[in-house]
Amino acid sequence: MRKRAAVAVTALTLVLGGCEPPAAADLILTGGKIAIVDDDFSIYETLVVRDGTVLAVGDASLADDYSAPTTIDLDGRLVVPGFNDTHTHISGNARRYINLGGTESIAEIQDLIRAKIKEMGEGEWITGYGWSEDELAEGRRPLRADLDKAGPNNPVILTRAGGHSGVANSLALSLAGIDRSTPQPEGGVIEYDEAGELNGVIRERQGMVGRLVPDATPEELRETHVQVLRDQLALGITSVIQAGQNPGGFRRWESIYEEFGHELPRAVVQIRWSSADRLAQFGRMSGDGDDRFRVGAIKVLVDGGFTGPAAYTIEPYRGMGEYRGMLNVPEDELRSLIMEANALGWQLGFHAIGDAAIQLTVDAMVDALDASPREDHRHYLNHFTVTPPVETLELMAEYDIAISQQPNFTYTLEGRYAANLDGERLAHNNPLKIPMDYGIFMAISSDILPIGPMVGLYAAVTRKGMSGEVYGPDERLTIEEAIRGYTRNAAWLTFEEDTKGTLEPGMLADMVVLSEDLLTIDPERIMGVEVDMTIVGGQVLYERR
């Protein structure tokens, strides 16, 4: 076992003729393999917690030096710092909502619609999220006709996993006033079939229909919101960055954390840009808050995604003529808001997926930092799917513009990339090693596709898609690098690297006990590793039964 000597924030006092009685602690974990995720990725056998932080780490004998009301026998299991998902979307759900994650066929989706109509009643709106054509037996997207068969007398709109497109039935489209004569929305696409009829799919602007869905009551949203946050603990997630709320949404989150924060993962909430005046009225800034709940970066969606597809690329999409996706924000407006937000002192954490969107965003950030220099801004890009030109990579390294990357996309969105990208763009989708080799700081997250860290770790070390094909093997990370990206590096994005993300003495006692040793098992088994226990601030908040 490496570094067997105990490390403690205060030395044990040795007394002539013997030792003092065991020092008081709150929790001891011993008899396992505890990865501290420090500079050396040190491994210890015992960890001691007091007052919510790590007090000491050391070899097996360290446990004899402390007395605690709870001692956990790890029985050889691996402990790592709690996973920190730096880009996720968590919300409460209305009664009319259907969770479509994991559905395996359009027929199953239709059955879920029928069941929800039976619950809600005829004429009520039905919504849902999480379907993916890559996981459906029919090998295609659900379309208007499919939804009509299941719910002809209820307006239905179902959003694809990733949130960049949705499908509506005929009644929903009619109520929204969308027909063959409706002009294409700016920044989005209304799809048609070969006969020129609406197929029900709307890319990027599905809010054209969704705006009509009645609001859920605050009570039903709050109850399910708290439960979804609790559910993260079973995945080993001890901290999250919520990827965008308006000030009103932030206050709803804040209210939840005022009541339940001690039993939930820690949270940082990004704020969606509206205007400098509205942010002034909000009265908060990036970093405001405490170690349980705080304000994050400004969030702007620069372009779309590949589930649309609408990511903004330099070269046209494969087999789609001159189509290169689109910007969600006009270039002059984007440059102006970046200049303004940076000057006001906000951290920026922007969605940029296509290489053209990445290039534009980085250029605008560089101009803003030249105009209003800041020593430790920690601006970053979420997603970074298509590798931009070398000049952009060099600028990111020079100006310390970081990345929150989602290696799980390589696995989950394989079909979308294969359909829309080719050559090096396909091989190096969601690059990991290339940015790091240029000196760009990188954290790892999920964007809920899916949210479980094991898929991200698996894809990071194997670079495999769902089919088993390997994309850009030179982009692979070691398992140690991948774990560091999900823990220590993630804390850096929120200016918290001195308080969480590792299990060194003095750090917050946020950790996960795993069923198998991620450091030694065959990478093909990573997705089967279970979270046995999740500890936040020294409190066991989840234990697998």
Sorting pLDDT into bands at 50, 70 and 90, what band is 19? Answer: low
Residue 107: pLDDT above 70?
A: yes
Task: Show the beta-strand stretches assigned E in 246-398.
Answer: 266-272, 293-299, 349-352, 380-383
pLDDT in tens, 327-364: 999 999 999 999 999 999 999 999 999 999 999 999 99
CA atoms within a 13 Å half-sphere pointing along the CA-CB vector of 122: 2
Residue 126: pLDDT above 90?
A: yes
Question: Across the strands, what pairs with 534?
Answer: 512, 542
Percentage with pLDDT > 90 across the chain: 91
Q: Say if CB 204 and CB 310 are below 8 A apart.
A: yes
Show Cβ contacts of residue 297 under 8 Å, excluding neighbours closer than 6 positions: 270, 271, 286, 346, 347, 348, 349, 378, 379, 380
Q: How far apart are CA 146 and CA 148, in angstroms?
A: 5
Domains and CATH numbers, the chain: 1-76+502-545 (2.30.40.10), 97-210 (3.10.310.70), 219-494 (3.20.20.140)
Sorting pLDDT into bands at 50, 70 and 90, what band is 443? Answer: very high
Show Cβ contacts of residue 195 under 8 Å, excluding neighbours closer than 6 positions: none
163: left (phi over 0), alpha (psi -120 to 50) or beta: left
Token pair for 120:
């809600």
| Residues 445, 447, 448, 450, CA torsion sign | negative
Nearest to 396 by CA among 438, 340, 354, 337: 438
Show Cβ contacts of residue 73 under 8 Å, excluding neighbours closer than 6 positions: 30, 31
Residue 492: pLDDT above 50?
A: yes
- The amino acid sitting at 204 is E
Q: Say if CB 261 and CB 292 are below 8 A apart.
A: yes
Q: How far apart are CA 505 and CA 408, in angstroms?
A: 31
Token pair for 526:
């990573």
The average pLDDT across 359-386 equals 97
